[in-house]
Amino acid sequence: MRPAALIFDVFGTLVDWRGSVAREVGAAFRAKGIDADPHLFADRWRAEYDPSMAPVRAGRRDYVALDDLHLENLQTVLARLGLDHRFDAAECRALATAWERLDPWADVVAGLAAIRQVALVAPCSNGSVALMARLARHAGLHWDAILGAEIAHNYKPHPSVYQAACAALRLRPDQVMMVAAHNGDLEAAAALGLQTAFICRPVEHGAGQTSDLAPSGDWTLVADDLVDLAARL
Residues contributing to the site for a copy of itself (CB under 8 A): 65, 67, 120, 122, 128-130, 132-134, 136-137, 142-147, 150-151, 168-171
Q: What is the CA radius of gyration of the chain?
A: 17
Give the largest CA-CA distance in the chain.
Answer: 56
* Least separation in angstroms between CB 170 and a copy of itself: 4
* Least separation in angstroms between CB 115 and a copy of itself: 14
The CA-atom distances, in angstroms, between 191 and each of 9, 81, 96, 159, 184 are 16, 40, 33, 9, 11
Q: Which is nearer to a copy of itself, 108 or 131 (CB)?
A: 131
Dihedral sign (CA 116, 134, 139, 163): negative
Instruction: Tell me the C-alpha distance between 221 and 203, whole Å.
Output: 21
* Least separation in angstroms between CB 104 and a copy of itself: 16
* Least separation in angstroms between CB 79 and a copy of itself: 24
Instruction: Tell me the C-alpha distance between 194 and 60, whole Å.
Output: 28
* Least separation in angstroms between CB 178 and a copy of itself: 17
The DSSP call for residue 12 is T
The CA-atom distances, in angstroms, between 150 and each of 130, 140, 147, 202 are 10, 21, 7, 28
Q: Which is nearer to a copy of itself, 44 or 153 (CB)?
A: 153
Q: Which is nearer to a copy of itself, 175 or 183 (CB)?
A: 175
Q: Which is nearer to a copy of itself, 34 or 65 (CB)?
A: 65
Q: Which is nearer to a copy of itself, 155 or 219 (CB)?
A: 155
Residues 6+ apart with CB under 8 A from 216: 183
* Least separation in angstroms between CB 147 and a copy of itself: 8
Q: Which is nearer to a copy of itself, 176 or 223 (CB)?
A: 176
Closest CA to 52 of 25, 75, 33: 75
